[in-house]
């Protein structure tokens, strides 16, 4: 039989099998789409092979010369649209793009371009021509480079040049689903890899949404009759195309930054959007259900007459038959079907409107005409000063300069027309939000710096245009926190992380942190990308925690726990990367379970009490194990030193994403004079023979974070034995008190008008030193006291009867109050916080942020009185307990 007849008969047989399974509900819609796609791929592959063999016999094979002689030139068929996404329906066209390797001469005086043009034309004819046997698949070649005007088959270099120089946004969307389906698949993968920067822009790309809106308007215009829009399950309101627009818009916007979103199928992309936090899981589940239902409806409409239609039937009898084909039974099948499709289409339309129209509607509601006039009339400086003053800006002259910078850009890099156009649309709602913020001058200053920093990257402005909630959040951040503002302005690319749906989750577990970072690192192609990925993850989560903090969604203890879990996750990842690198370099297998290197967290990290500005205090302890394991490989101390050095380097070496954490190892045995890593037995010997009391006190905070289970247990036993095997003598209690007094003298507030929260009398260190003294004194007899966390130790001291309840409550309340002040001040200022000024204006602002209400004079007096009360209570408890022990 001729090739055409073979292909058509095969297609008919398979459609009977696939359709029968579909109608009998033996195959889910996902499986039906995959089977139709697999059939189409097989037919296309057979057509390419058959036509090329026939053409080679007629014209001679198309070959390219190479170092090893001539070889057949590569030719690939790329499936686009539903074929590429493995989502074909019964009457789908197959969207194809034909690409060959490169131009060159060909035997018989013809060029390779002529050979592959003829091949493409013959393959298209073999698939689409209507013969006595019918046709196989309608072929659509409009997605090829140049569209209708482009060559039917394009060389790889010519295709890349076209997409680099001439392609439009809709073509980016078309290539989201592209997949080699026949011919030289390696050539197809080369093309797709080269097109990644074209399809997925490295920068945030919210400008794409504006262009997709225009595409959707053209689709709507094609559905002139209202009844057509209601009946069309593909192009109508709440139809398949709107759902695909929602998904593809998110992929195009975020896919350049997050490779996890680069899924070809709609269902796969929906799952990726949910798993990656860019869309709410309930929403993606609803959209996935709608997609399956609407595609099933499409199948059952088309299967009757094998017609390319997407219109629901008009008559009651036809509609009832369709409902029954879809599995709706009983006398109310038609009504049940109508309710089901109405619900799914409503869900799709709501998601589409939320993404494409909600922001514009909200901006129109929020706009104030006088603010639009303000930014348009900045040339009137005197009038602008007056208007800014009336809006509540304390320094109208400075606000005017910031507003000019925001609108016009810096003098050396004036704003482009596209940026000014976007700003003109954004400015009224943006200025309304700034004017209504807690600190308009500060918010405007930071916003002007941000917009000046991003320069020509108008995609960030489009993000704010499309996400009014993110705009409000950014203004709140700029108005509330100098620290987070400075952090954000160093990393403006983090703006896209604020769009993620999982930003609303206030607390994330260590397991969730580890799972997400592990997934991201697994997708990184090399070490540089791994380090950038680690830093990017840390910055995104750091910002998420800070945002929830300034919104009041997290208490200080929750902030500390989140920051600690984040740091431990990043440290564990860096430790794993370092081990792999050094193991590979030294050609050593992984250490046995009882041996290896352990990482110990000290200070705030060990106590799970990290703050925003904390370094990571670390110790590195190893057990070399049996000498035979190292024989002929490496010296254990050198090997583990290298692992520790690389771990630190992976966290604190600057990359284009900055650093993750600063590392401090001065608490190791002998401090900076000691080796970076210590053998387990040497570590134990040092603390038995040479360690001082302050080192015993410091090890209260020790917590083993990484290492083999057996090694962790041994190390924890060594630390517990040194810290808790005995109590404290009276002279040791006195020494702790002297250390505390020395800290107060050396690091207390130098300014008489300032209150030293940490080091002053009744400050945080009073609580920590008293608790640690009591842990050292009683921990040998009360194992429950052996915790590195101050808050937990306080609770256990009360439970064990070692602190009277009133003393424990005074310490706990005063400690929590001052921790909250310290945390709020750190967010407020971009500098270390040692003290708070005893100034009414400063105290009033601080009190407001902590929820105090009333007149300014009242709240400043109330917070001053509360602080004095807590510090006096702490100091009284501190003096009483130290005096009792020493007396």
What are 49-93's pLDDT values in tens digits? 999 999 999 998 898 887 777 889 999 999 999 999 999 999 889
Question: Which DSSP string do the residues of 437-459 spell out, in sequence order?
Answer: SS-HHHHHHHHHHHHHHHTT-TH
Instruction: Please tell me the pTM assigned to this model.
Output: 0.73
Nearest to 748 by CA among 732, 759, 737: 759
SS3 377: coil
Question: Which DSSP string do the residues of 63-116 spell out, in sequence order?
Answer: EEEETTEEEEPPEEEEEEHHHHTT---TT--EEEEEEES---B-GGG-BHHHHH
Report, as ranges of residue numbers, the positions in the chain whose pLDDT lies below 70.
106-108, 203-210, 219-228, 357-370, 372, 412-415, 456-457, 501-504, 587-595, 626-634, 748-753, 830-832, 886-887
Look at residue 429 in the predicted model and tell me its pLDDT. 85
For the chain, the helix, strand and coil percentages under 3-state DSSP, each to the nearest 5: 65, 10, 25
The distance of Cα 216 from the centroid of its chain, to the nearest Å, equals 28
Look at residue 42 in the predicted model and tell me its pLDDT. 97
Both tokens of residue 231? 């009946």
Q: Which residue has the tokens 């807690």?
A: 438
- Under a CB-based contact definition with an 8 Å cutoff, are residues 704 and 712 in contact? yes
Look at residue 881 in the predicted model and tell me its pLDDT. 93
Beta strands in 533-587 (DSSP E): none
Q: How far apart are CA 745 and CA 768, in angstroms?
A: 17
DSSP annotation of 180: E
Q: How far apart are CA 347 and CA 280, in angstroms?
A: 13
Phi-psi group of 710: left, alpha or beta (phi > 0 → left; psi -120 to 50 → alpha; rest → beta): alpha
Beta-bridge partners for 601? 618, 703
**Residue 98, H or E segment:** strand 94-100
Look at residue 650 in the predicted model and tell me its pLDDT. 97
Beta-bridge partners for 182? 77
Look at residue 531 in the predicted model and tell me its pLDDT. 96
Q: How far apart are CA 190 and CA 196, in angstroms?
A: 10
Question: Which DSSP string do the residues of 641-705 spell out, in sequence order?
Answer: HHHHHHHHHHHHS-BTTB-S--EE-TTSTTGGGS-SEEEHHHHHHHHHHT--HHHHHHGGG-EEE
Both tokens of residue 229? 């829009």
Look at residue 563 in the predicted model and tell me its pLDDT. 96
**Residue 572, H or E segment:** helix 556-586
Looking at 166-232, list the stretches that DSSP marks H as alpha helix, in order from N- to C-terminal side.
169-174, 185-199, 207-222, 226-231
Nearest to 580 by CA among 590, 572, 593: 590
Q: How far apart are CA 335 and CA 339, in angstroms?
A: 6
Look at residue 744 in the predicted model and tell me its pLDDT. 84
**Residue 116, H or E segment:** helix 112-128
Sign of CA dihedral 313, 318, 322, 323: positive
Q: How far apart are CA 391 and CA 384, in angstroms?
A: 11
Residues in the chain: 887
Phi-psi group of 60: left, alpha or beta (phi > 0 → left; psi -120 to 50 → alpha; rest → beta): left
- Under a CB-based contact definition with an 8 Å cutoff, are residues 261 and 276 in contact? yes
Q: How far apart are CA 811 and CA 744, in angstroms?
A: 18
Look at residue 886 in the predicted model and tell me its pLDDT. 64
C-alpha count within 13 angstroms, C-beta hemisphere, residue 347: 17
Mutual angle of helices 333-356 and 240-254, in 10-degree steps: 30
DSSP annotation of 331: T
- Under a CB-based contact definition with an 8 Å cutoff, are residues 787 and 777 in contact? no
Look at residue 558 in the predicted model and tell me its pLDDT. 94
CB atoms within 10 A of CB 13: 11
Look at residue 206 in the predicted model and tell me its pLDDT. 62
Q: How far apart are CA 154 and CA 832, in angstroms?
A: 61
Q: How far is CA 675 from CA 578, 619, 666, in A?
A: 19, 10, 10
Nearest to 496 by CA among 531, 445, 539, 527: 539
Write the CB contacts of 391 (distance below 8 Å, at least 6 apart in sequence): 431, 435, 440
Helices (H) and strands (E) in the chain, counts: 37, 14
- Under a CB-based contact definition with an 8 Å cutoff, are residues 345 and 290 in contact? yes
Domains of the chain: 3-170 (3.30.460.10), 207-356 (1.20.120.330), 366-480 (1.20.120.1510), 510-724 (3.30.460.10), 730-886 (1.20.120.330)
Burial (CB count <10 Å: 0-12, 13-18, 19+), residue 753 = exposed
- Under a CB-based contact definition with an 8 Å cutoff, are residues 441 and 399 in contact? yes
Q: How far apart are CA 462 and CA 641, in angstroms?
A: 49
Say if strands 663-664 and 835-837 run parallel, antiparallel, or are unpaired.
unpaired
Burial (CB count <10 Å: 0-12, 13-18, 19+), residue 588 = middle
Buried b / exposed e across 439-473, counting CB within 10 Å, b at 16+?
bbbbbbbbbbbbbbebeebbbbbbbbbbbbebbbb
Buried b / exposed e across 763-790, counting CB within 10 Å, b at 16+?
bbbbbbbbbbbbbbbbbbebeebbbbbb
Q: Could you report how far apart the first and last alpha carbons of the chain are, in Å? A: 110
- Under a CB-based contact definition with an 8 Å cutoff, are residues 99 and 317 in contact? no
SS3 252: helix
Q: How far is CA 10 from CA 5, 43, 230, 841, in A?
A: 8, 8, 36, 83
- Under a CB-based contact definition with an 8 Å cutoff, are residues 643 and 597 in contact? yes
Look at residue 246 in the predicted model and tell me its pLDDT. 92
**Residue 597, H or E segment:** strand 596-602
Mutual angle of helices 556-586 and 510-522, in 10-degree steps: 40
DSSP annotation of 505: -
Nearest to 577 by CA among 613, 530, 621: 530
């Amino acid at each position: 039989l001729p090739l055409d007849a073979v292909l058509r008969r095969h297609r008919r047989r398979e459609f009977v099998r696939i359709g029968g399974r579909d109608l009998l509900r033996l195959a889910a819609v996902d499986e039906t789409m995959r089977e139709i796609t697999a059939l189409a791929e097989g037919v296309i592959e057979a057509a390419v092979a058959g036509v090329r063999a026939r053409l080679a016999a007629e014209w001679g094979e198309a070959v390219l010369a190479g170092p090893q002689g001539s070889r057949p030139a590569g030719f690939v068929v790329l499936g686009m649209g539903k074929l590429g996404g493995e989502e074909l329906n019964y009457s789908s066209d197959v969207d194809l793009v034909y690409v060959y390797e490169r131009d060159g001469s060909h035997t018989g005086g013809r060029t390779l371009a002529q050979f592959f043009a003829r091949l493409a034309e013959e393959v298209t004819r073999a698939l689409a021509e209507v013969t006595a046997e019918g046709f196989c698949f309608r072929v659509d070649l409009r997605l090829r480079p140049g569209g209708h005007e482009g060559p039917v088959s394009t060389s790889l270099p010519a295709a890349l040049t076209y997409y680099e120089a001439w392609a439009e946004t809709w073509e980016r969307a078309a290539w989201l689903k592209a997949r080699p389906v026949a011919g030289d698949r390696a050539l197809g993968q080369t093309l797709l890899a080269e097109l990644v920067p074209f399809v997925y822009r490295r920068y945030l790309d919210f400008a794409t949404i504006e262009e997709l809106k225009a595409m959707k308007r053209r689709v709507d215009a094609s559905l002139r009759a209202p009844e057509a829009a209601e009946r069309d399950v593909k192009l109508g309101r709440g139809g398949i195309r709107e759902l695909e627009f929602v998904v593809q818009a998110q992929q195009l916007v975020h896919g350049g930054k997050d490779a996890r979103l680069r899924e070809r199928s709609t269902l796969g992309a929906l799952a990726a959007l949910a798993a990656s936090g860019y869309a709410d899981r309930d929403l993606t589940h609803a959209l996935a259900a709608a997609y399956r239902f609407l595609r099933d409806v499409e199948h059952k409409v088309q299967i009757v007459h094998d017609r390319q239609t997407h219109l629901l039937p008009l008559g009651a009898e036809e509609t009832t038959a369709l409902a029954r084909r879809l599995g709706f039974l009983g006398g109310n099948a038609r009504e049940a079907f109508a309710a089901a499709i109405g619900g799914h289409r409503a869900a799709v339309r709501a998601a589409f409107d939320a993404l494409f129209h909600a922001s514009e509607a909200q901006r129109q509601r929020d706009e104030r005409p006088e603010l639009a006039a303000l930014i348009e009339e900045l040339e009137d400086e005197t009038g602008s000063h007056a208007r800014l003053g009336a809006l509540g800006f304390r320094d109208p002259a400075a606000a005017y300069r910031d507003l000019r910078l925001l609108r016009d850009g810096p003098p050396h890099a004036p704003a482009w027309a596209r940026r000014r156009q976007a700003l003109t649309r954004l400015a009224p709602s943006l200025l309304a939000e700034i004017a209504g913020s807690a600190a308009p001058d500060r918010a405007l200053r930071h916003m002007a710096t941000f917009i000046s920093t991003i320069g020509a990257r108008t995609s960030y402005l489009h993000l704010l245009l499309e996400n009014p909630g993110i705009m409000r959040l950014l203004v709140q951040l700029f108005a509330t926190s100098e620290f987070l503002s400075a952090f954000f302005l160093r990393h403006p690319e983090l703006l896209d992380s604020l769009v993620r749906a999982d930003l609303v989750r206030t607390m994330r577990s260590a397991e969730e942190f580890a799972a997400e970072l592990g997934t991201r690192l697994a997708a990184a192609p090399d070490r540089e990308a791994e380090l950038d990925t680690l830093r990017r993850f840390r910055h995104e989560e750091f910002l998420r925690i800070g945002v929830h903090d300034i919104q009041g969604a997290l208490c200080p203890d929750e902030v500390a726990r989140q920051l600690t879990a984040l740091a431990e996750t990043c440290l564990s990842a860096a430790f794993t990367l370092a081990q792999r690198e050094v193991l590979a370099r030294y050609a050593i297998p992984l250490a046995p379970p009882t041996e290896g290197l352990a990482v110990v967290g000290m200070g705030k990290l060990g106590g799970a009490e990290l703050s925003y500005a904390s370094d990571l205090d670390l110790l590195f302890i190893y057990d070399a194990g049996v000498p035979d394991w190292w024989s002929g490989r490496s010296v254990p101390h050198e090997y583990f030193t290298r692992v520790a050095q690389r771990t630190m380097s992976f966290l604190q070496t600057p990359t284009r994403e900055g650093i993750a954490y600063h590392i401090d190892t001065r608490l190791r045995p002998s401090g900076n004079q000691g080796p970076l890593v210590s053998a387990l037995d040497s570590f134990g010997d040092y603390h038995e023979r040479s360690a001082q009391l302050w080192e015993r006190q410091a090890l209260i905070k020790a917590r083993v974070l990484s290492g083999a289970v057996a090694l962790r247990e041994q190390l924890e036993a060594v630390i517990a034995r040194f810290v808790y095997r005995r109590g404290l003598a009276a002279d040791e209690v006195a020494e702790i008190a002297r250390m505390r007094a020395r800290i107060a003298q050396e690091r207390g507030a130098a300014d008489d008008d300032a209150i030293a929260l940490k080091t002053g009398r009744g400050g945080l260190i009073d609580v920590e030193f008293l608790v640690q003294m009591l842990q050292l004194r009683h921990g040998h007899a009360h194992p429950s006291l052996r915790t590195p966390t101050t808050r937990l130790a306080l609770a256990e001291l009360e439970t064990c009867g070692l602190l009277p309840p009133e003393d424990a409550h005074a310490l706990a309340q005063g400690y929590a109050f001052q921790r909250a002040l310290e945390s709020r001040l750190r967010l407020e200022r971009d500098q270390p916080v040692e003290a708070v000024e005893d100034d009414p204006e400063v105290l009033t602002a601080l009190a407001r942020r902590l929820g105090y209400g009333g007149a300014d004079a009242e709240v400043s007096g109330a917070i001053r009185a509360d602080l004095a009360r807590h510090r006096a209570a702490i100091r009284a408890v501190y003096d009483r307990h130290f005096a009792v022990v020493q007396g």
